Structures are given as C-alpha cells and as structure tokens.
C-alpha cells in the first residue's frame, strides 16, 4: 500500500571489483549502490534482509529507510533497479535511489484487471486481452500505489478500455498516452470444422458406391435376361 516505510540496514563496501562481489554473493550478501543526493555509495545488504524489505504490502514501491553501518541516520530511498540470477532467480545486484519525500517521482505501476470472469463478453465466449501491463505515473514517494485496478466486469463483446477510462488515486498523475488500449474483449476466432469436409467426402463415397451398386444390378439383370433367352 502507498505510504509504507521499511527500515533497511546496509553496510558500506570498501573493496570493489568482480572478485569481491562474487565473494559476497557466496555469503548470501547482495552488492549494490545507493545513489544519494551527492555521490553514489557502494553498499552491501543481506539477501534475507533485502527480501524482507521488498516483499511487504507495498512491494517494490516501499519507501526504504536505509541505514548505513548502524549510524542511526536513515536515507529515504526507493528501489531504482535490480538484477536477477538467470538460473537461481536470486537478486545479484541492487540499485537504490535516495529521494525527497516532498518531491514527486516517476514510477512504473502494475495494472490488475478486476471482474474478468463476470464480464458479459467473456461469458459469451469472448477473449479478454490485456495489452498494457504497467503504467508510468508521477506522485510523491509515499503516494505511489502498489498497483492500479481496472474494472472490466461490464465489458461486452467488442468493447475496448483505454487509459482514459482508468481512475487514479488522488495525487497520482498518469504520464502515458490516454488513448493507449488497456483491455479488450474480442470474439473467439472461428475455425472451419473438419467434420463438414469429412461429411462431404463420405457423401461422395456413398454416391460412388451407389452408382457402383446400380451398375452391378444392371449387369446382373442383363445377365439374367441373357440366360433366359
């Protein structure tokens, strides 16, 4: 939820380089950088501590009160970027950005469709599609929503919802084009049924069989007449 703040304790990295980062990762520590108001600071944070901070109610939009080396002074920051291990899936590097809580920031927010199963168009067999998964918004750090809900329960076949149809919370400004399509309900694609072709082929075969039977009967009649003569 917007406004959630989480304390995150980190340590300052004195030694840099790829060898040092590999050593930290083996110990369950994630290297990173805190981009402050002046110079960036190389930091390290325990993977469990980082996971705890980023899996709260606000998710990746949580305001992190970063405390370096237990000094007691905190830096209000947000998650700027992160890298994942392609094999194991864990975080291998994290970038934090110090922010001022009284100045708006730009953020990407996920869009969640609500009521899709109740939409009349879906009940009629239509396909609900979501071309847009995220919105770019501007808001104060404590006002950035975790996600935006888009009600699609009223959509019929052929309906389209655009960004102009989305209701944003107070204090949140949309930065994307209002004509961008957010959700659609389209009629299902109709494919030609193979049974029809099989039926036609069957009728053709039956017709040929009928003609062959008629021909055989004619020949038998002819043979019979010839025998009697």
> What are the start-end ranges of the H helices in 67-186?
120-123
pLDDT of residue 86: 80
Give this prediction's pTM: 0.69
Each residue's pLDDT tens digit, 32-44: 999 987 789 999 9
Q: Residue ranges of the domains in the chain?
A: 5-98, 105-186
The pLDDT, as a whole number, for residue 101 is: 92
Least confident of 3-7, 57-61, 114-118, 154-158: 57-61
**Eight-class DSSP state of 17:** S
Question: 29: closest CA among 54, 48, 46?
Answer: 46
91 and 102 Cβ atoms separated by less than 8 Å: no
Position 174 scores a pLDDT of 95
Structure tokens at 126: 């239509």
pLDDT-derived band at 203, boundaries 50, 70, 90: low
Q: Which residues contact 174 (CB under 8 A, 6 or more apart)?
A: 135, 136, 137, 163, 166, 168
Share of the chain above pLDDT 90, in %: 53
Q: Which CATH architecture has domain 5-98?
A: Beta Barrel (2.40)
Q: In what order do the strands lie in the sheet with 134-139?
A: 147-151, 105-114, 134-139, 173-174
Work out the mean pLDDT of the chain and round it to a whole number: 82
Query: Residue 171: pLDDT above 70?
Result: yes
Which residues, at least 6 apart from 91, have a Cβ–Cβ distance to it below 8 Å? 30, 47, 50, 51, 82, 83, 84, 85
- How confident is the model at residue 1, as a pLDDT? 53
Residue 193: its pLDDT value, please?
57
pLDDT, tens digit, 9 for 90 and up, residues 58-116 = 678 889 999 998 777 889 999 999 888 887 778 889 999 999 999 999 999 999 999 99
CA 111 to chain centre: 8
> Does CATH place domain 105-186 in 2.170.120.20?
yes
Quote the pLDDT of residue 179.
96
Please list, residue by residue across 176-199, b when 16 or more beta carbons sit within 10 angstroms of its beta carbon and e when fewer do: eeeeeebbbbeeeeeeeeeeeeee
Q: Residue 8: its pLDDT value, please?
A: 92
């Amino acid at each position: 939820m917007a406004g959630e703040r989480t304390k995150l304790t980190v340590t300052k990295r004195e030694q840099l380089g790829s060898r040092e980062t590999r050593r930290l990762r083996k110990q369950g520590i994630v290297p990173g950088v805190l981009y402050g108001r002046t110079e960036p600071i190389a930091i390290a944070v325990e993977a469990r501590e980082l996971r705890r901070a980023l899996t709260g109610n606000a998710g990746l939009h949580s305001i992190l009160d970063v405390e370096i080396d237990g000094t007691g002074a905190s830096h209000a920051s947000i998650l700027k970027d992160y890298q994942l291990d392609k094999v194991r899936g864990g975080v291998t590097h994290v970038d934090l950005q110090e922010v001022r809580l009284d100045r708006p920031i730009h953020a990407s927010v996920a869009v969640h469709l609500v009521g899709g199963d109740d939409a009349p168009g879906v009940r009629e067999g239509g396909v609900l599609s979501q071309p847009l998964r995220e919105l770019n918004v501007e808001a104060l750090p404590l006002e950035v929503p975790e996600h935006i809900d888009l009600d699609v329960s009223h959509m019929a076949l052929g309906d389209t919802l655009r960004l102009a149809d989305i209701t944003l919370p107070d204090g949140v400004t949309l930065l994307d084009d209002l004509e961008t399509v957010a959700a659609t309900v389209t009629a299902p694609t109709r494919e030609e049924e193979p049974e029809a072709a099989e039926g036609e082929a069957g009728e053709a075969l039956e017709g040929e069989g009928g003609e062959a039977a008629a021909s055989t009967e004619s020949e038998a009649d002819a043979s019979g007449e010839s025998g009697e003569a």
